[in-house]
Every structure is written in structure tokens, then in C-alpha cells.
Amino acid sequence: MVERRRLLDFLPHLILIIGVAIVAFPVYVAFIASTWDAATISNGSMPLRPGPHFAENYYRTIFVGTSSSTREPVGTMMLNSLIMALTIAIGKIAISLISAFAVVYFRFPFRMTAFWIIFVTLMLPVEVRIFPTYKIVADLNMLDTFAGLTIPLIASATATLLFRQFFMTVPDELVEASKIDGAGPMKFFVDTLVPLSITSIAAMFVIQFIYGWNQYLWPLLITTKDNMQTIVIAIKKMIVTQDALTEWQLAMATAILAMLPPVLVVVVMQKLFVKGLVETEK
Amino acid sequence: MSDVRLQSVRKVYPGGVEAVKGVSLEIADGQFCVLVGPSGCGKSTLLRMVAGLETISGGTCSIGDREVNEVEPADRDIAMVFQNYALYPHMSVYDNMAYGLRNRGTPKDEIDRRVREAARILEVEPFLERRPRALSGGQRQRVAMGRAIVRKPKVFLFDEPLSNLDAKLRIQMRVEIKKLQRALATTSIYVTHDQLEAMTLADQLVVMNKGQVEQAGAPITLYERPITIFVAGFIGAPPMNLLDLPVTGLPGLALASPPSGPVTLGIRPEHLELSAEAGSLSLDLTVTAVEAVGAESYIYGALGGQGPEIIVRIPGRDLPAIGTSLRAIARPENLHFFSRETGLRLN
């Protein structure tokens, strides 16, 4: 039953608008702050309208860097973050696809054991195994490298489980038709299974890209050189607590820049993402 | 030559279940062989063993002069049409048909020629660029057939290909499959549980039950002279009337060589006619139900008022009222006798 009542229409919208405002307002303030000069922000009377320093602030943030703490411009760090997030997302998807393919389509000894071992790693996120993982990465001379930054984060049970569930819904007849059509296992994987999983892959890509982009603890541990730092760490480093003046306008510009790629990924892949999570049609 | 020979083929699943218990069959070059039987009789397993999708536990399967027990499905020179079509959902109709040829390294222009020819024969030319999901069930069925015929295989295998279609389309496609098979003269094995489909399509009809062949031969032979009770009851719609005779026999019935054990009598509904006089076999029925299907009608009656149900087919629509008593008679040459112990035919 659909009731058309003004109040019932109005109330949910009001609640939703309040919710959106609560989420959006800090972002708006951050953006505004990134368009004023340091003095205006520091004296506590920053207006809620865009200021005149937009181009200057963003130019400094991306290409020059702050005058004090971090010496690298944010452009480099964005590139670092992008490489890290992409490697993690693509690596996770590639490894998960292959391991799910092995677990679902091949009968090998200890198949279920292999599956359960993958499953158990769900209980071992980086935070839990951080010391041994650090030790291994350090021993392998992978500190301050992209390999050290990404490889320990790539192994993924979540994506393996998702792809396994998806593969199990693919009708057996497709495998059999492929066999009769002369496609071997890898050809079936590349020609049929991966194209069919494209929406799940997109969904996984969005989730894992954001996961990779937002990594804080692991890059903090593993990187010591400024030119290997990621943007999420940069924000923290820009906020100086002691004597020096924090260049808030640049910190805010960095925060806004750090938000952009995940937003972009979600916006661009939204359709596929939603399809990948809800689609039942094969 | 592309005949298919099965010699005491067996399938034992790891759990110890024997799905196929030694089947021997010869399917001649160009012959249309239909495997029919109830669910779980092993007909699909047998077909999948010919396709190479199931391993053969015992016996041999040869296609042409080559034993194929250990040959990969792709190298057996067969094509299969699946019940759910198994079209690749992400490929266009054209690519679905071309895929198998591409995997075999067929030249591009040859692929194009064959796909277009198959599309023309099957009337799917307008849909070549579409995805399977944009097609109706009947069109998908045609594409699945197209995928099989572009390969020009030695043997076509059909696994209940029509059971996902509605009744009207099923009859239409049945006729088309038959025509196509005649035109291409390719040896075909077709699995179905629909005995009407089996009767109309088959050159050689194979009735299977519990992993064994009950009877194999021309459909009319199976219809006229079923050699087991199972075949008698399975082939024909409405089914043959099967009556357990009393040990003393029915009065007026004489068998050439009287059997030792109890006997089951079979009479097809169309071999019974209503009559006022007594025949060599007379059955007194009380009508319990009537069905008019148009050109003919079926009368369901209880033998002797409360006995087993007998079906009588009569022409036209002149139906008796329910509860009336009738007499149905049959000619002696239309009677089938089976041993109740062995299930085998006696006359």
C-alpha cells in the first residue's frame, strides 16, 4: 500500500538530508579551508565560502610540498598511494581468481584443506601478524620498496570466498561445453570464467582499491624514506603539533586530494559494483 | 564411417553405485538412436560416457574404427546439445558457434562460411550479433544446435534438448531436429524421458531401465512386440493395460505353450473395442472416468466393477455415462503375455 501523505513524504527526506549534511559538512569545511591562506584559518574566523587561494594552495600541495615537515610534494605521494592501491587491488583479484578456480574446478589432494587454510587467514589481518610480517619483509630487504608495501597485503580470503561462491553457481554444462569445444582448463578460465565474473571483479576492485588506498599502519611501518610515503600518512605528518605553524590550508588540500581517487573509483564503477554484489542472472 | 559401438559399457561411481550395468549397442552410420527411460535409468550417464564427460568404468566405446575410452571429449569428434543449452552468456551468437572452430585453428573465412551456413539452416541469421540472454528459448535451442552442426562432427549427442521448451515449440523443434538429422546424415544419440519424442525421432529406439537395456530396435517393433513388461508399460500413451491373470487363466484364452508361473496380460487401449457380443477375450467394465481428446476418447473402467483399471480407446466423442457397464473385447493376435517372474514376453 502506497500512501501519499505530505508528512510521510517529508519526514524521511528531512532525516536523510540531516544525515547527508552531517557527512558532507566536514568535507565542505575541508574544501573551504583549502582555498584560504594560513593566516585566515589560524585566526579562527574562516568564512564558510571559498577563498581566493585555491590555485595557489593546490599548486603548492601537489608540486612543491609544505615548507616544514614533509619535504616531498603530495604529487609523489599520490602516485605512491595509487601504485600501492592498484597493486593491492589487482594482485588480490588475480590471486583470488586463480585460487578460487583451483578450489572449485580441480580435484587435488587436500583440496578442502587448502580451502580452509585460505579461509582461516580471514582471522589474520595485517594488524595481528604485523611483527612477523615486518620481520620477514625486513629480512628480504623489502623495506622502502613497493614490493614490501604491497605483497604482504595481497593475499586475500575475502575475494577468494566471493569468487568461489560465484564459480559454484556457474552451470557445469558450461565447463562441459568448453571441453567439447576444445578449450582446456586455462582457456576455459580466460575465455569463459573471467568474462562471466567481470561484475564480481569490478565489485572486488572497488572494495580492495579503497582498502589499499586507506592503508595507514603498514605503510607507516614499512616506509622510512620521504619519497616512498603515501598520501594518507602525509596528512598526518603535515599536522605539526609543536612549535611550528601547521599549514592547514595545505593539509586540507591534501585531505581533499586523498579523497578524490576512491570517490572517482566508486563513481566510475558504481553500476558494475552494484551489479556484482546483487546480480543473480548468469 | 562414423558408427558408434558400445561393448558391455559399465559405469560405477566412487560410492559403489552402478549406474550403467553393461550396455552393448551398435549405432550404424547416420542412424538416429534414441535412449529413453525413466529418471535414473542411466541413459544420460551412457550419453556422457560417449561424450567423454564421464569416465568409462568397464567395457569399450568406439566411434568409427577408433576406441575412444581414453580420448578427450574435444578429440572424439562429437558435438553435444545440452538440456539448458549451455551457451556462453558473454559471447554473441556468432561467437558461440565459432568458438569451437577457433579453438581448433580453423581458418577465419572457413569459420565465417560455416557459421553463416548453419545460421541460415537454423534461421538464426538475424540474431548473430545478439547475446543468448536476448533470445527466446526456441532461438537459444537453435543456436545450441548451430554450435553442434558448424563443427561437422561424426556424432551428435543430444541430452534432453527439448525439455525446457513449451509443448508447442517442443513438437516444432522435434520435427526440425529430425529433418536436420536426415539432411546431414550424421550419426546421432538422443536422450529423452518423453516416449512420444522417442517414438517419433528414432531409427533405433533403446529403452533403458535400471542401468540396462530392456529392448533396442525399430520404434514400431518395440511398440508391437515389447519383449518385457517394462517396455510394454513404458512405450505408448495412454499406456498398455497390464492385467495379472489368475493362475487358472481366463476362460476362452489358450496359450500355445502354457507357462509354469503366473502370467501378466497386456492389451493396448486401441486394441480393445466396445461390443455387445463376447469375443475371444471379453472384459466387463464399469466406467469410472472418460476423457475426450478430440478425434478419439479414452474410457477408464474398473474390471468387473471393482477390479484393476482398464483404458479403452474409442474413436469419436460418443461417450458412455459414468457408472454404466460395458463389455470390451480384443482379438487374440493383439494380446501380449509376460511372465510375472522374469518380466519376459511369453508369446
Span B149-172, pLDDT tens digits: 998 999 999 999 998 888 888 998
Closest residue in A to B157 (Cα) is A180
More confident residue, B140 or A248: B140
How far does Cα A220 stand from its chain's mean position? 16
Residue A144 class from Cβ within 10 Å (0-12 exposed, 13-18 middle, 19+ buried)? middle
Is the predicted pLDDT of residue A241 greater than 70, yes or no? no
Contacts of A183 in chain B (CB under 8 A): 74, 99, 103
pLDDT confidence bin for A61, thresholds 50/70/90: confident
Lowest mean pLDDT among A221-235, B44-58, B275-289: B275-289
> Which residues of chain B does CATH 2.40.50.140 include?
238-339
- Per-residue pLDDT at B208: 94
Query: Mean pLDDT over residues A78-82, rounded?
Result: 92
In Å, how far are A70, A250, A252, A258, B344 from A74, measured between CA atoms? 9, 10, 12, 9, 90
- Per-residue pLDDT at B281: 76
Residue B61 near residue B4 (C-beta atoms within 8 A): yes
According to DSSP, the residues that pair with B290 across neighbouring strands are B299
Closest residue in A to B100 (Cα) is A181
CATH numbers and ranges of domains, chain A: 64-278 (1.10.3720.10)
Query: Mean pLDDT over residues B116-145, rounded?
Result: 91
Residue B97 near residue B150 (C-beta atoms within 8 A): yes
Lowest mean pLDDT among A200-204, B220-224, B278-282: B278-282
pLDDT confidence bin for B295, thresholds 50/70/90: confident
Q: Which of B49, B55, B63, B99 to mutate to test the interface with A (most CBs of A within 10 A)?
A: B99
What is the helix, strand, coil percentage profile of chain B, to 5?
Answer: 30, 30, 40
In Å, how far are A199, B125, B141 from B129, measured between CA atoms? 22, 9, 16
Q: What's the pLDDT tens digit per position in A10-33?
A: 889 999 999 999 999 999 999 999
Asked if omega into B238 is within 30° of 0 (cis), the reply is: yes
Q: Which of residues 40-79 of B touch A (CB under 8 A)?
A: 51-53, 72-74, 78-79
- Residue spans of alpha helices (H) in B21-136: 43-51, 93-103, 108-121
**pTM, to two decimals:** 0.81
Q: Do A191 and B99 touch (CB under 8 A)?
A: yes
- Per-residue pLDDT at B159: 93
How far off is chain A from B70, nearest CA to CA, in Å? Answer: 14
Q: What's the pLDDT tens digit per position in B181-215?
A: 999 999 999 999 888 899 999 999 999 999 999 99
Could you give the ipTM of this predicted complex? 0.83
Q: Residue A178 corresponds to which cell in the numbers above?
A: 568448453
Pick the CATH number of B238-339 from 2.40.50.140, 3.40.630.10, 3.40.50.970, 3.30.379.10: 2.40.50.140
Q: Residue B293 corresponds to which cell in the numbers above?
A: 481428446
- Per-residue pLDDT at B258: 61
How far off is chain A from B210, nearest CA to CA, in Å? Answer: 24
Is the predicted pLDDT of residue A141 greater than 50, yes or no? yes
- Mean pLDDT over all residues of chain A? 87
Residue A210 near residue A262 (C-beta atoms within 8 A): yes
> Residue B208: in which H helix or E strand, if any?
strand B204-209
Contacts of A198 in chain B (CB under 8 A): 90
Q: Do B84 and A173 touch (CB under 8 A)?
A: yes
What is the DSSP code (8-state) at residue A190? I
Instruction: Classify domain B4-230 by CATH architecture.
Output: 3-Layer(aba) Sandwich (3.40)
Contacts of A281 in chain B (CB under 8 A): 133
Sequence letter at residue B311? I
> Which residues of chain B does CATH 3.40.50.300 include?
4-230
Query: Mean pLDDT over residues B76-80, rounded?
Result: 92
Contacts of A191 in chain B (CB under 8 A): 88, 99
Residue B218 near residue B203 (C-beta atoms within 8 A): yes
Residue B88 dihedral angles phi and psi, to the nearest 5°: -75, 115
Q: Give me the half-sphere count of Cα atoms (radius 13 Å) on the Cβ side of residue A85.
A: 27
Q: Is A196 on the interface with B (CB under 8 A)?
A: yes
Is the predicted pLDDT of residue B234 greater than 70, yes or no? yes
Rounded-to-integer distance, Cα B35 and Cα B43, Å: 6
- Per-residue pLDDT at B249: 57
Query: Mean pLDDT over residues B232-246, rounded?
Result: 87
Q: Do B90 and A192 touch (CB under 8 A)?
A: yes
Closest residue in B to A187 (Cα) is B103
